[in-house]
Chain A
């Protein structure tokens, strides 16, 4: 029996462990320095907001691991020795592995701002970050969040539930406009503001200022504005958490470099999830994909490979989702922030200004390329199929109602969307 050791008990490592267990009887050990049991990182905000307790965020009950003979070790891997196949743990000594799976996730970025290590300045990634945030935000009145991404907006929503005033510094000229097309970015910008967030666009952080006790007391923007605050959230992206692999012989660049089989350059060492950087390109995907679904899919793939059925990581069409305060967002296929030369678009927005649909297709071939939907739930299954089958935009629009995934009795908009689409496209073709 092999000893398969997995570093990281996030979605990547745990999916790998579970799927290996389904196919083999090998010994499986999962190591994490964060929490004893797997919990859902995406639910961190809900713990802070009181929607759930930490317990509720664990996808499996505590007995599950023993029953499935997955050994859990709470410790930090300080070094990996690939020659002797040994891990050096901080507390529990050395651990031998036959197969190593690295699923160590990400860590929050910091860009060397003056004052970034003051008390009350933090990112949000780990469970410990959440505890720190609980402490840092106690009895405070004002907070500043830097960086307009998904974690930033979650942090804003979190702080608002504690009646803390939030100022949000965003470098772009609309919220998340490096990812979203301008129309959607604008819709979300309005929505964020409707929740009384002081959103400052085109604004960057220059400096964080502290008081005599080393606690943050204000920040200075690149425009020279000084904003008083007792908390600063740094949410300017995450990067692979791979320091402990230094000198291990495992090749890294931004992340751990892997081939199509998620193998690293060292035999019997695999890597997956947030900490990975693919050596090969996949159409429409970045080489470092820090999303939940990627970790999960890679976990399924690597398990198959480790259990003797070599499988490539070949994800289907891109999909993702998020929620911005009250507005749900889903995306299928690729909708870039700016149209590519071969692309054209149709954008529909509901009169309420809180729902929209944005479709992209190829100008010449009419092939449907991607869709963003805000405030209307749509069926993954349909779009996955249509994208794979390279359906035309007309086909997709004709069948749009089939893809509706909103609950029963919800107002439907397909009629209006299709009408407007036809009008818009007939003008184009004339």
Chain B
């Protein structure tokens, strides 16, 4: 038994090391078949093959080299097409000269009159992009603008590769071109990496069963991992790097995605994408670290049930059911994800997909809306926001399992609370405005809402809030700022749940008369940075919008002072009273 823990650690480190090595362990060879397989437009495929000829038939020894060369080839294609199809200054001058007084769109035909492909494109595109100039007094500058827009959108779209296509191709071509031990043996490598990590972690965790049930916080603040020491900083940096790759540079991590291809094929029948890899690892983290959580808090039924609940919802609702939906040719749908946490719920492509899928699709749409307007207020009224944040939510699930070792790192200062309120409510406003814009665009087909472009806005939201805040900061900062940084400062759904919890709910944490000894365990281990002791030592109920009801404050309190309760609303905001002292009326 004594050796299980070190053995587990060794296995984990081995698995983790192989995982990291496998990131680099591949060579890449592009073939015409791969290019043709990924690019259906034959002409584009041919032009790319031209530019990428150096990559064909020769091995690029690393993902960095391959991606760099591929990226250069894609750029080159665009550049060439721009020079072939772009307007020259001379042509634009000519166009301006023709239209000194008022612009006549017919003049386009005169300027680009000779019949060839370039001129045909120029005629058509200028009419499309600049048709509105017809009959107007027009400056040379306006003409230039039209030409620039055509360059930016028209040409790369039609003859080259736009931003999205470039991103997508870099990823899919790299993945398809890989030749590596991982690719020839994905299952083996899955076992050697993630498999070993799981076995190692469990061997490390399970011996804790021998310790008596009870609070296990010994040495937390001496631990290099749990106290922002070298190991914590290293772990945080790794996580941040992982998230940056995942969201912004997925083309480098294709070897990892290849590993989970067999799993994905088994579930949905499709090849794995990067978000399948992410969901897979995410779910495993919740499961393995959930076991740890249960063992650590096995004296508390509340903690056991709550942990089982997040493990279940992540595995079934977030991971398996959506994959199975795809296998059944139904839209991907996570039945427990709620707008505005699920910020893209009202995006036109998603609404269209749902509407295109008949009865089930419509049900999903109605379900999603019912969660927002019925489930959230009603359940928060009866149980507090915890029903979602620490029983159902995936972000919460990860925070309560993988993130549990870091809960003490949340900032308890009053100043942090102030920042929190500003920040989280700003994100909520941002999410609402962004979604309103998206819906406006959906119904009117006009992307301009007042003074902003709804496409631009959703992109900014997706990058900064969806990926940057929720992902990179939210999880990457676990070992640096605690496990609920996103939930506390960023999550717009938490803000919405919180407003209801604060003003209309039966939930509160009650304090047990005068029993508090101000020790500070509750505040220290509150992942939301609530200074629980402040209330407990003055005998006041804790009614805070941010409380996710994890119940850990109650668990760690050595004097049994705190209890999460739902009772009638009256007396919820009780005045501070400390039982036990006659003749004393506490001043505020």
Query: Which A residues fall within an 8 A CB radius of B?
Result: 11, 19, 22-23, 40, 42-43, 46, 49-53, 56-59, 61, 161, 194-195, 292-293, 296-297, 300-301, 304, 311-312, 314-317, 319, 321-323, 325-326, 328, 330, 377-381, 384, 405-411
Contact = CB atoms under 8 A, between A and B. Distances in A.
B301 interface: yes
Contacts of B521: 43, 46, 51-52
Given A40-B519, A52-B520, A384-B579, A161 B414 contact: no
Contact of A300 (B524, B533, B584): B584
A315 B563 contact: no
Nearest to B305: A409
A40 B520 CA distance: 8
18 contacts: A40-B517, A42-B518, A43-B519, A50-B218, A51-B215, A56-B520, A59-B534, A316-B579, A317-B580, A322-B559, A330-B559, A377-B563, A380-B579, A381-B579, A405-B512, A407-B551, A408-B302, A409-B302
Q: Most chain-A Cβ atoms within 10 A of its Cβ — which of B551, B564, B580?
A: B580
Interface stretch (B6-14, B107-115, B220-228, B234-242): B220-228
B518 A59 contact: yes
B578 interface: yes
Given A46-B521, A321-B559, A407-B300, 20 more contacts: A19-B586, A19-B587, A40-B520, A52-B221, A59-B520, A59-B534, A61-B413, A292-B517, A293-B515, A297-B580, A301-B583, A311-B583, A314-B581, A330-B560, A380-B514, A380-B579, A381-B513, A405-B563, A408-B564, A409-B301
Interface in B501-550: 512-515, 517-521, 523-524, 533-534, 537
Interface residues on B, range: 35 or more
Contacts of B223: 50
A59 B517 CA distance: 10
B558 to A, nearest CB: 4
B564 A407 contact: yes
A59 B587 contact: no
A323 B217 CA distance: 15
B414 A384 contact: no
B555 interface: yes
Interface string B231-252: 0000000000000000000000
B220 A50 contact: yes
The 5 closest A-B pairs by CB, nearest first: A380-B513, A326-B214, A377-B560, A22-B587, A43-B519
Nearest to B221: A50
B414 A51 contact: no
Interface of B: 212-215, 217-223, 299-302, 305, 413-414, 512-515, 517-521, 523-524, 533-534, 537, 551, 554-556, 558-560, 563-565, 578-584, 586-588
Given A384-B579, A407-B554, A379 B533 contact: no
Contacts of B556: 51
Q: Chain B contact residues: over half helix, strand or loop, or mixed? A: loop
A46 B587 contact: no
B580 A407 contact: no
Contacts of B560: 321, 328, 330, 377-378, 405
B562 to A, nearest CB: 9
Contacts of A323: 558-559
Nearest to A314: B582
Contacts of B588: 22
Nearest to A311: B583
A321 B562 CA distance: 14
A316 B413 CA distance: 34
Contacts of A19: 586-587
Contacts of A408: 301-302, 564-565
A19 B559 CA distance: 24
A328 B559 CA distance: 7
Nearest to B220: A50
A56 B558 contact: no
Q: Most chain-A Cβ atoms within 10 A of its Cβ — which of B212, B299, B302, B512?
A: B512
Nearest to A409: B301
A43 B520 contact: yes
Contacts of A22: 587-588
A49 B223 CA distance: 11
B584 A301 contact: yes
B302 A42 contact: no
A304 B585 CA distance: 9
A226 to B, nearest CB: 31
B518 A11 contact: yes
A312 B212 CA distance: 46
A323 to B, nearest CB: 4
A283 to B, nearest CB: 13
B144 to A, nearest CB: 59
A304 B584 contact: yes
Contact of A296 (B301, B512, B578, B582): B578
A8 to B, nearest CB: 16
A204 B215 CA distance: 32
